[in-house]
Amino acid sequence: MKNLSLLTALAATAIAMPAMAQEGRDTSQDFNGPYISIGGGGTLQGNDRGETLVFDTNRDGTYGDQVTTSGGANAFSPGFCNGAATGTANLGCPNDKDGPEFFGRIGLDQRMGNFVVGALLEGGRSVARDSVSGFSTTPASYTMSREADYQGSLRVRAGYTPGGGALFYVTGGPAYARLDNKFVTSNTANSFADNGKTHAWGYAAGGGAELMLTNKIAVGLEYLYSDVKDNDYRVNVGPGTAPPTNPFLLNGGGTDIQRSGSHFRTHSVRGSISYRF
């Protein structure tokens, strides 16, 4: 609702200020032709409720096995939480990390009367981080985190301009992110190895408004939702100095760990400034 309120406020400003946007200049070519943009804003990473760690105890490629102690008990009975662990006990985790973002964009619009269609290519980075933690009876904590080193999308957009000066649009298309994955644990007995950075593919969609300040310069406000999927990141647990009775070693000498949720989802509210050629 907050994002919608921001867009509504910009729309109201554009409609209420026709003199600034249109009087004294030719608006017939507004939002027509190529442009470049830079911008920034804030990215929110909502907690993924119910996410856990999942285990492949015999390394057959199928996750969902239970890690058991030598007595047959669930070694992860303390459970899981959304976020990064703050200790070895499951006392709850802080919310996932939100943060700033910045981006650059090139695009091309075609105006047909009061309607505008176009395409754009965008790349940038945000510092939002998504984490999930598990807790064993040892006790020990295990946290997987991911954030995007960089991300991009190729989107179409379609909108309406009431005679030039202001444009209101929706946008969507495929998205990509290069994810930086990290694993942290308080377990010092086993060995742990992971495959680090991974590729994630999905889509981005949203909407926004732009206001022409001059024949060449426009400012905008946009909401964008991104959802990219990564099934490749995993952590391999080995013996280290742990005895053969270690829960990770009982069923074949090692265990692989993944997140139960493969989707990295973010909500962004961003401003932009554009130059039109």
pLDDT at position 26, please? 83
What is the pLDDT at residue 264? 94
- For the chain, the structural domain boundaries read 2-276
**How many CB atoms within 10 Å of residue 148?**
25
pLDDT of res. 24? 63
The model carries a pTM of: 0.87
CATH number at 2-276: 2.40.160.20
pLDDT at position 47: 64
Residue-level pLDDT at 118: 98
The pLDDT value given to residue 25: 80
| Average pLDDT per block of 10 residues along the chain, 277 residues long | 47 47 74 97 83 95 95 96 94 90 97 97 94 96 96 98 94 97 97 95 98 96 96 96 95 92 94 97
CA angle 106, 108, 109 (to 5 degrees): 135
The pLDDT of residue 87: 94
Q: Which residues contact 228 (CB under 8 A, 6 or more apart)?
A: 151, 175, 176, 177, 179, 200, 201, 202, 263, 264
At residue 136, what are phi and psi to the nearest 5 degrees? -105, 170
